[in-house]
Amino acid sequence: DTGVSQDPRHKITKRGQNVTFRCDPISEHNRLYWYRQTLGQGPEFLTYFQNEAQLEKSRLLSDRFSAERPKGSFSTLEIQRTEQGDSAMYLCASSPGTYYEQYFGPGTRLTVT
């Protein structure tokens, strides 16, 4: 069990640029979640996948955000035309099923200048 990994750990980008983050879940977990955490707040849910199917999206996930999980393994989160308000820690988590605890990766810290 190598845990959830995320890449990159830090990303600095200019406003208007596109960015993509990757998450590799624990291998036997079929559920994968994305959250966003801003300074001084708890993480907020963005979206989740069961295998390759994206089953739920938060209203926080604007049209500029898209997430994929091809083949039900790793996942990517893309933000198009980044804005300064997108600056946050983006967290990925995985779990083996419904109501199980979620295991979090170290996060990707995005700074939009």
Partner 1 sequence: AQSVTQLGSHVSVSEGALVLLRCNYSSSVPPYLFWYVQYPNQGLQLLLKYTSAATLVKGINGFEAEFKKSETSFHLTKPSAHMSDAAEYFCVINQAGTALIFGKGTTLSVSS
83 binds partner 1 (CB under 8 A): no
Token pair, residue 50, equals 């069961």
Of 20-28, 67-75, 77-85, 92-100: span binding partner 1 (CB under 8 A): 92-100
60 binds partner 1 (CB under 8 A): no
Answer whether 57's CB lies under 8 Å from 48's CB: no
67, 27, 87, 112: CA torsion to nearest 10: -80
Nearest partner of 11 among 108, 104, 80, 102, judged by Cα: 108
Closer to partner 1 by Cβ: residue 45 or 74: 45
Applying CB under 8 A, among 67, 107, 108, 112 the residue interacting with partner 1 is: 107
Of 36-44, 61-69, 70-78, 79-87: span binding partner 1 (CB under 8 A): 36-44
54 binds partner 1 (CB under 8 A): no
- Residue 17: Cβ within 10 Å count: 13
- CA–CA distance, 10 with 12 (Å, rounded to integer): 7
25 binds partner 1 (CB under 8 A): no
Residues that bind partner 1 (CB under 8 A): 4, 33, 35, 40-45, 48, 55-56, 58, 91, 93, 98-99, 101-107
